[in-house]
């Protein structure tokens, strides 16, 4: 554990019910954290949702935050994802102005290099979709800044661990990670 | 059996053994009150003057009996008037179920008359809250709410029911409380071994580690926090400190956790802690904390708090571990269970040298003056009370100087004897809380220690006290000023007494008379003791307005954020 402030990725399984998201996001604001990104969606079980939230803080505070979230009744499981052993992705739409075919070709070439797809072409503008962790999407955004970017839409980060590990390993139903034991 | 929502609710209260509720009726909760009318031989309703009073009464009832308190209010302003009471219960982990009704389902979200999003408002101040829109789910929700309020780290729960649900019917089968865990969502929640529902079983290797630390330690100090009160572990902690022969400091919330007269007790710790407690905290090499969350009033400076010690934190709530103060070791579990395991595995130790070092410092309160001309001193008032009233008298307090004096001075003997708002510091808490305590403990003497500022806030509950014939003796420490704030202004704000003078009435004796009660104003010990005698003979409440000196201070005092042994005032 270090005191270095960095992006921390928290994934949680929660009951898919009205008010749960608000309970969780209010906990972040109450404890003084700004949510950098948040994504929510159902899982293989329609009654549970998975929330991925990224905040800027150090390891120790992130662990305390996880303990606070665990206290909430609709929460089944919370995990602090280790970036080394996980995959984080977000999807970004970028709408760029392309007045003529020359500009259009340049942008298409850039898109190919970044393995971005063109999902809409119309007279005067192109829309790209790019998937990546924060660094890749930031790089393409920077290059496209040379052209006139009309709009950027991002989904926010989702994250999954590599290998056999899943969020279901440590749910409250399964004894909740050596629950009661000194884990620090 | 087909029943209306209101009937189901009342039946569910009976399942829980509820025989008294505090509350205030209104438009949306009328159906429930109509049902209460049918059940009035089974459930006693205490009508207060204000919903806030009801919320504090339910809280005081829960604190003094250990049972779950129940409080009713109507929608909108009725519900928002509860919020101070809910937050007070939340900060001190008191099990109370607040039940309010909202407008009809089809009117929700339309800014209907007396509509408010209570679930949204109370989210950060409840353990859990519910909006019930389906009568079929009502019984489940009520059972779950009670289970949650009283389990793990206790706390308040809010149930907001839309009005039409209280009139609609559903099938209901009464179920005894021991069978609740096999139905509904409680069953699911029990499957999750979550620390807020099932009491955690402490880990034996963690216990063993603490025992090793205790054996190594030359200068152990124990802190008795509010967790000891909530789990009623008074006998266990007494055995523990006797066995390890360590001094024990008490927090405001922990008062009554161990008998105040015990020879190992160093008195209160923290901002107004005794010399012995605070200096021992700085010098000890092992600090064992039971159910204390190291709030800023105890660990004033978390960086230097117990700087020479290994801190061991024992708490039922894992999110408290390392929250305010970094611990060396921790045990997650119910204080009572942990203490029992520790006691079973410990042999008698001796720390005479260390005790000698600690008890060289004062364990008693320090007062400015023991006698003053023309006014009483806090010591005189408290000594007379201690001498004249039964030793097991329950003491409710408000918030301010009088609260600190009372907690410093009295030796509390059992959990629940002191009823005070420690975490939230709610002025106006005392009278309502005293009502709840008296109703929960009709055989015990109950007194209220209050200040003129705090008492003015909710004195309208005197009508409740009078109506229900509750013989509570009220002691007003009247310095005609907001004493604690003035103390800070004197010490920190260059004597700029900004808006703290309360030299404007009312005449508290006349107030008492107006509510049909007796009272006296006293300025010396003779008058005071006469008044106490009179009050004890009255079958009704009695108000004693005690004049005290305007610049009386709570001593000792450590400034906020300072090192714990750095006394600003001796």
CATH 3.40.50.1220 residue ranges for chain B: 204-359
pLDDT in tens, B418-452: 999 999 999 999 999 999 999 999 999 999 999 99
Give the Cβ contact number of residue B287 at 10 Å.
Answer: 28
User: Which of A144-153, B120-129, B173-182, B534-543 is predicted with the least confidence, judged by mean pLDDT?
Assistant: B173-182
Is B119 within 8 Å of A19 when comparing Cβ atoms?
Answer: yes
Q: Annotated active-site positions of B, please?
A: 51, 113-114, 163, 484
User: Which of A47-56, B187-196, B455-464, B561-570 is predicted with the least confidence, judged by mean pLDDT?
Assistant: B187-196
Give the Cβ contact number of residue B540 at 10 Å.
Answer: 15
Is B201 within 8 Å of A180 when comparing Cβ atoms?
Answer: yes
DSSP calls for B1-15? -EEEHHHHHHHHHHH
- In angstroms, the separation between the Cα of residue A69 and the nearest Cα of chain B is 9
- In angstroms, the separation between the Cα of residue B424 and the nearest Cα of chain A is 16
Contact A162, A87 (CB under 8 A): yes
B523 alpha carbon, distance to own chain's centre: 31
> Quick one: pLDDT at residue B488?
96
Q: Find, among A167, A172, A77, the residue nearest to B195 by Cα.
A: A172
User: Which of A89-98, B331-340, B367-376, B388-397 is predicted with the least confidence, judged by mean pLDDT?
Assistant: B367-376
Q: What does the alpha-carbon distance between residue B261 and residue B264 come to, in Å, rounded to a whole number? A: 8
Is A26 within 8 Å of B123 when comparing Cβ atoms?
Answer: yes
Best A13, A47, A67 residue to mutate vs chain B (most B CBs within 10 Å)? A67
Give the Cβ contact number of residue A60 at 10 Å.
Answer: 14
Q: What does the alpha-carbon distance between residue A96 and residue A144 come to, in Å, rounded to a whole number? A: 8
CATH 3.30.70.260 residue ranges for chain A: 6-81
Q: Find, among B111, B118, B100, B104, the residue nearest to B9 by Cα.
A: B100
Question: How confident is residue B402, by pLDDT bands cut at 50, 70 and 90?
Answer: very high
Any idea which architecture B2-191 has in CATH?
A: 3-Layer(aba) Sandwich (3.40)
State the burial class of residue B356 (Cβ atoms within 10 Å of its Cβ: 0-12, 13-18, 19+).
Answer: exposed
Q: Which residues of B touch A (CB under 8 A)?
A: 119-120, 123-124, 127-128, 131, 148, 189, 191-197, 200-203, 205-206, 209, 317-319, 321-323, 329-333
Query: What residues of B are in contact with residue A23 (Cβ under 8 Å)?
Result: 123
Query: Residue B304, by phi and psi: left (phi above 0), alpha (psi -120 to 50) or beta?
Result: alpha
Of A68, A73, A181, which has the smallest distance from its Cβ to B128's Cβ? A73
Best A18, A182, A183 residue to mutate vs chain B (most B CBs within 10 Å)? A182
> Quick one: pLDDT at residue A1?
59
pLDDT in tens, B204-217: 999 999 999 999 99
Region B158-187: mean pLDDT is: 91
B149 alpha carbon, distance to own chain's centre: 15
Question: How confident is residue B192, by pLDDT bands cut at 50, 70 and 90?
Answer: low
Contact B436, B59 (CB under 8 A): yes
Query: What is the ipTM, given to two decimal places?
Result: 0.84
CATH 3.40.50.970 residue ranges for chain B: 2-191, 378-554
- In angstroms, the separation between the Cα of residue B192 and the nearest Cα of chain A is 4
Q: What does the alpha-carbon distance between residue B316 and residue B200 come to, in Å, rounded to a whole number? A: 7
Residue of B nearest to A69 (CA): B319
Joined together, the tokens standing for residue A121 give 């072409």
Q: What share of chain B is helix, strand, coil (3-state, %, to 5)?
A: 40, 20, 40
Q: Is the pLDDT of residue B376 over 70?
A: yes
CATH class of B378-554: alpha beta
**Beta-bridge mates of residue B130:** B159
pLDDT in tens, B333-368: 899 999 999 999 999 999 999 999 999 999 988 888
Mean pLDDT (chain B) is 95
Between β-strands B472-478 and B542-547, what pairing exists: parallel, antiparallel or unpaired?
parallel
Q: Find, among B481, B478, B406, B401, the residue nearest to B447 by Cα.
A: B406
Residue of A nearest to B197 (CA): A73
Residue of B nearest to A28 (CA): B124
Q: Find, among B113, B92, B90, B93, the residue nearest to B102 by Cα.
A: B113
Which range has highest mean pLDDT (B198-202, B288-292, B364-368)? Answer: B288-292
Region A129-156: mean pLDDT is: 92
3.40.50.150, 3.30.420.40, 3.30.70.260, 3.20.20.450: CATH of A6-81 = 3.30.70.260
Query: What residues of B are in contact with residue A171 (Cβ under 8 Å)?
Result: 192
CATH 3.30.70.1150 residue ranges for chain A: 88-158
Query: What residues of B are in contact with residue A1 (Cβ under 8 Å)?
Result: none
> Quick one: pLDDT at residue B298?
95
Q: Classify domain B204-359 at the CATH superfamily level.
A: TPP-binding domain (3.40.50.1220)
Q: Is B409 helix (H, G, I), strand (E, B) or coil?
A: helix
Q: Is the pLDDT of residue A178 over 70?
A: no
What fold is seen in the domain A88-158?
Alpha-Beta Plaits (3.30.70)
Q: Is the pLDDT of residue B322 over 70?
A: yes
Q: What does the alpha-carbon distance between residue B358 and residue B283 come to, in Å, rounded to a whole number? A: 9
H or E element that contains B439: helix B430-440
Contacts of A145 (CB under 8 A, 6+ apart): none
pLDDT in tens, B460-495: 999 999 999 999 999 999 999 999 999 999 999 999
Joined together, the tokens standing for residue B559 give 């400034």
> Quick one: pLDDT at residue A173?
54
Of B192, B329, B333, which has the smallest distance from its Cβ to A180's Cβ? B333
Q: Is B396 helix (H, G, I), strand (E, B) or coil?
A: strand
């Amino acid at each position: 554990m270090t005191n270095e402030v960095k992006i921390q990725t928290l994934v949680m399984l929660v009951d898919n019910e009205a008010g749960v998201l608000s309970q969780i996001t209010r906990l972040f604001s109450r404890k003084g954290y700004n949510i950098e990104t948040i994504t929510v969606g159902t899982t293989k079980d329609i009654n549970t949702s998975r929330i991925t939230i990224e905040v800027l803080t150090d390891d120790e505070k992130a662990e305390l935050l996880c303990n606070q979230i665990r206290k909430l009744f609709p929460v089944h499981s919370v995990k602090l994802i280790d970036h080394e052993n996980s995959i984080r992705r977000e999807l970004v739409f970028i709408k760029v102005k392309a007045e003529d075919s020359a500009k259009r070709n340049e942008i298409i070439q850039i898109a190919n290099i970044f393995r971005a797809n063109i999902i809409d072409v119309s007279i005067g503008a192109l829309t790209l979709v790019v998937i990546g962790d924060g660094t890749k999407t930031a790089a393409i955004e920077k290059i496209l800044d040379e052209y006139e970017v009309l709009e950027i839409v991002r989904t926010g980060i989702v994250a999954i661990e590599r290998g056999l590990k899943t969020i279901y390993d440590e749910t409250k139903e399964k004894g909740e990670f050596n629950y009661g034991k000194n884990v620090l | 059996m087909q029943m209306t929502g209101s009937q189901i609710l009342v039946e569910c209260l009976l399942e829980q053994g509820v025989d008294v509720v505090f509350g205030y009726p209104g438009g949306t909760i009328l159906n429930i009150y109509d049902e209460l009318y049918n059940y009035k031989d089974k459930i006693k309703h205490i009508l207060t003057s204000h919903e806030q009073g009801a919320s504090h009464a339910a809280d005081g009832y829960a604190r003094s009996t250990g049972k779950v308190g129940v409080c009713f209010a109507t929608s909108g302003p009725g519900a928002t008037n509860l919020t101070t009471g809910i937050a007070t219960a939340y900060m001190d982990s008191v099990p109370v179920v607040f039940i309010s009704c909202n407008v009809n389902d089809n009117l929700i979200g339309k800014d209907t008359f007396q509509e408010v999003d209570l679930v949204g408002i109370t989210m950060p101040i409840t353990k859990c809250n519910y909006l019930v829109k389906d009568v079929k789910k009502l019984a489940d929700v009520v059972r779950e709410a009670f289970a949650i309020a009283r389990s793990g780290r206790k706390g308040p729960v809010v149930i907001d029911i839309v009005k039409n649900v209280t009139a609609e019917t559903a099938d209901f089968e009464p179920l005894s409380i021991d069978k609740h865990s096999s139905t509904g969502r409680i069953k699911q929640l029990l499957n999750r071994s979550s620390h807020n529902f099932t009491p955690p079983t402490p880990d034996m290797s963690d216990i063993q580690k603490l025992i090793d630390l205790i054996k190594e330690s030359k200068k152990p100090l124990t802190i008795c926090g509010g967790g000891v009160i909530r789990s009623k572990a008074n006998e266990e902690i007494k055995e523990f400190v006797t066995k390890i022969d360590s001094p024990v400091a008490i927090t405001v919330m922990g008062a009554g956790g161990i008998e105040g007269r015990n020879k190992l007790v160093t008195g209160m710790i923290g901002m107004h802690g005794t010399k012995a407690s605070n200096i021992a905290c700085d010098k000890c090499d092992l600090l064992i904390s039971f159910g204390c969350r190291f709030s800023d009033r105890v660990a004033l400076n978390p960086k230097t708090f117990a700087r020479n010690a290994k801190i061991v934190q024992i708490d039922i709530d894992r999110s408290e571990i390392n929250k305010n103060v970094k611990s060396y070791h921790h045990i997650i579990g119910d204080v009572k269970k942990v203490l029992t395991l520790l006691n079973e595995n410990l042999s008698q130790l001796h720390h005479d040298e260390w005790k000698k070092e600690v008890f060289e410092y004062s364990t008693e309160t320090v007062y400015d003056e023991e006698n003053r001309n023309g006014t009483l001193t806090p010591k005189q008032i408290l000594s007379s009370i201690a001498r004249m009233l039964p030793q097991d008298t329950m003491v409710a307090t408000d918030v301010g100087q009088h609260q600190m004096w009372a907690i410093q001075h009295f030796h509390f003997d059992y959990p629940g004897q002191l009823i005070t708002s420690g975490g939230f510091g709610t002025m106006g808490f005392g009278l309502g809380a005293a009502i709840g305590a008296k109703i929960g403990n009709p055989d015990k003497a109950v007194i209220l220690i209050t200040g003129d500022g705090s008492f003015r806030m909710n004195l309208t509950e005197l009508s409740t006290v009078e109506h229900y014939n509750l013989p509570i003796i009220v002691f007003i420490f009247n310095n005609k000023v907001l004493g604690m704030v003035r103390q800070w202004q004197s010490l920190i704000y260059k004597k700029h007494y900004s808006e703290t003078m309360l030299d404007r009435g009312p005449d508290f004796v006349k107030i008492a008379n107006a509510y049909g009660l007796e009272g006296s104003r006293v300025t010396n010990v003779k008058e005071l003791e006469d008044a106490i005698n009179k009050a004890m003979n009255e079958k009704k409440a009695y108000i004693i307005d005690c004049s005290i000196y305007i610049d009386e201070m709570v001593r000792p005092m450590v400034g906020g954020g300072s090192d714990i042994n750095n006394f600003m005032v001796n």
